[in-house]
C-alpha cells in the first residue's frame, strides 16, 4: 500500500478523469531514509497560560487531518520533533513554533497538539523557513482540541524555498461554543500538500479557515479542507485566495459535510484565484454533502487573469505592469496577511511575496 492514494482524498469520490480524488503521484509523501530523518532545527517559545508536555493529550486524538489517516500515522510515528501544549485561561501573548531547514537539518517531521481547556484563549504561530540551497522536507501534523468556550487561533506561515517539499495536516475538534480559527499562508516550496479537517460535533462550535497560496514554476499545490457538522448551530467559514504563475498545477478540495443532527448549521466556502499564465493547471472541487434538513451551505469558486482595463488604468497613473501586478496581489492577500498577529511576520510575508513577484511574468 502506498501513501499516494491516501493523501488529500476527496471525502466522496467522483470521476477519476477529473483528477481531484486525491493528490497526484508526484506529490507522494517520501519514504523515510534508511538513516532516518535526522535532527530538526525546531524551537518553540511559550506565552503566558501555555505549558508544554511530553504526553499527547487524549482529547486531541480520534480524528484525522485532511491529509488522511495513513499520512497522519506516518508523521506521528516518524516525527523527529514532538511537542504537545496545554492552554489554560486567557493568554495575552503568542506561542511560537519556529522551524528552519538548513544543510545540517534538511528534514523536519513534526507532531504537535494543542489542548485548549474550557474558556481559554490562545494564539499559536508556526513559521517555516529554509536556507536558499537546501533541498528539504517539512511534514507536520497539528492536532487541536478546543473544550467548551475555548478560542484557538493557529497561524501557519510557510516560506520555504522552491526546492523544498511541504506536507501539512491539521485536525480540529471543537466542543460546545468553542471557536477554532486557522490563518494559513502557503507561499513557498515546490510541492505543497495541505489538508485541514474540523469536526464540529457540539452545539455552537465554530471553525474558520482563511488561507492564501502562491504557486509558480513547475510547482504542485494540493489542498483538502473539510468541515464536518454534526452538532446543532455549528458554523464553518473556509475561504482561499491564490495566485498561480508559469506552469504551476493546483487542486483545491473544499468540503462542507452536514450530517444528521446538524440542525441550523451554517457552512460557507470560497476560492478566488488570480492566473498569471495560460499554462497553469487550476482545479477546484467545492463540495457540499448533506443528510440533515434546515441547514445553510454555500460555495463559490472563481478564477481569472489580470483585468486589462485595471492594468491600463493603473498604467495611466504611472505604474508599470509589475507594480500594478503587486498591488492587485496585495489586495487579494491583505485580508489574510492582516490577521497575522505580529508586525515583523507580516513584513516577512510581504517581503517573500515581493521576491516571488519580481520573477513573475504576465502572459496573455
- 350 inside domain: no
Instruction: Look up the domain containing 100 and give its range.
Output: 4-305
pLDDT of amino acid 4: 44
Q: How many CA atoms lie within 13 A of 266 on its CB side?
A: 6
For all residues of the chain together, what is the average pLDDT? 93
C-alpha cell at 142: 497539528
pLDDT digits (tens, 9 = 90+) for 206-218: 999 999 999 999 9
pLDDT at 325 over 60: yes
pLDDT digits (tens, 9 = 90+) for 58-89: 999 999 999 999 999 999 999 999 999 999 99
Query: Is the separation of the CB atoms in 196 and 66 below 8 Å?
Result: yes
- 160 inside domain: yes
β-bridge mates for residue 121, sequence order: 90, 151
- 195 inside domain: yes
Question: C-alpha angle 257/258/264, rounded to 5°?
Answer: 145
Per the listing, cell 493529550 goes with: 57
Q: How far is CA 130 from CA 30, 107, 136, 158, 242, in A?
A: 18, 10, 8, 10, 22
Query: Is the separation of the CB atoms in 132 and 161 below 8 Å?
Result: yes
β-bridge mates for residue 98, sequence order: 43, 127
Query: Is the separation of the CB atoms in 50 and 91 below 8 Å?
Result: yes
pLDDT of amino acid 362: 54
Read off the pLDDT of each residue in 117-129 and give the average, rounded to a whole number: 98
Instruction: Supply the pTM of this predicted model.
Output: 0.95
Residue 247: pLDDT band (50, 70, 90) is: very high
pLDDT of amino acid 3: 45
Q: At what angle do helices 308-316 and 321-337 cross, to 10 degrees?
A: 110
Q: For residue 259, count CB atoms less than 10 angstroms from its CB and return exposed for 0-12, middle for 13-18, buried for 19 or more.
A: middle
- 364 inside domain: no
Torsion of the alpha carbons at 52, 54, 59 and 60, rounded to the nearest 10: 80
pLDDT digits (tens, 9 = 90+) for 164-187: 999 999 999 999 999 999 999 999
pLDDT of amino acid 276: 87
- 45 inside domain: yes
Q: How many domains does the chain have?
A: 1
- 357 inside domain: no
At residue 26, the 3 state secondary structure works out as helix
Amino acid at each position: 500500500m502506498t501513501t499516494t492514494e491516501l493523501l488529500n482524498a476527496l471525502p466522496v469520490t467522483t470521476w477519476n478523469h477529473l483528477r481531484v480524488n486525491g493528490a497526484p503521484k508526484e506529490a507522494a509523501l517520501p519514504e523515510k531514509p534508511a538513516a532516518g530523518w535526522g535532527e530538526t532545527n525546531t524551537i518553540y517559545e511559550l506565552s503566558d497560560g501555555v505549558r508544554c508536555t511530553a504526553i499527547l493529550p487524549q482529547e486531541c486524538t480520534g480524528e484525522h487531518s485532511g491529509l488522511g489517516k495513513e499520512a497522519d500515522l506516518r508523521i506521528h510515528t516518524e516525527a523527529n520533533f514532538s511537542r504537545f501544549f496545554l492552554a489554560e485561561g486567557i493568554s495575552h501573548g503568542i506561542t511560537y513554533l519556529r522551524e528552519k531547514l538548513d544543510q545540517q537539518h534538511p528534514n523536519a517531521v513534526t507532531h504537535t497538539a494543542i489542548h485548549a481547556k474550557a474558556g481559554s484563549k490562545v494564539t499559536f504561530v508556526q513559521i517555516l523557513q529554509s536556507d536558499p540551497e537546501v533541498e528539504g522536507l517539512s511534514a507536520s501534523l497539528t492536532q487541536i482540541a478546543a473544550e467548551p468556550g475555548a478560542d484557538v487561533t493557529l497561524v501557519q506561515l510557510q516560506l520555504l524555498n522552491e526546492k523544498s517539499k511541504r506536507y501539512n495536516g491539521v485536525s480540529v475538534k471543537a466542543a460546545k461554543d468553542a471557536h477554532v480559527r486557522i490563518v494559513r499562508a502557503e507561499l513557498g516550496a515546490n510541492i505543497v500538500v495541505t489538508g485541514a479537517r474540523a469536526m464540529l460535533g457540539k452545539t455552537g462550535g465554530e471553525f474558520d479557515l482563511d488561507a492564501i497560496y502562491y504557486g509558480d514554476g513547475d510547482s504542485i499545490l494540493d489542498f483538502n479542507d473539510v468541515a464536518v457538522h454534526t452538532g446543532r448551530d455549528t458554523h464553518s467559514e473556509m475561504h482561499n485566495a491564490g495566485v498561480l504563475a508559469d506552469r504551476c498545477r493546483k487542486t483545491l478540495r473544499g468540503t462542507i459535510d452536514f450530517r444528521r443532527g446538524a440542525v441550523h448549521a451554517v457552512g460557507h466556502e470560497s476560492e478566488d484565484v488570480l492566473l498569471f499564465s495560460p499554462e497553469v493547471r487550476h482545479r477546484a472541487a467545492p463540495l457540499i454533502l448533506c443528510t440533515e434538513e434546515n441547514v445553510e451551505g454555500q460555495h463559490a469558486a472563481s478564477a481569472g487573469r489580470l483585468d486589462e482595463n485595471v492594468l491600463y488604468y493603473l498604467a495611466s497613473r504611472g505604474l508599470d505592469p509589475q507594480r500594478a501586478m503587486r498591488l492587485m496581489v496585495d489586495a487579494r492577500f491583505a485580508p489574510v496577511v492582516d490577521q497575522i498577529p505580529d508586525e515583523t511576520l507580516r513584513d516577512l510575508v510581504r517581503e517573500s511575496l515581493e521576491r516571488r513577484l519580481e520573477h513573475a511574468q504576465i502572459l496573455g
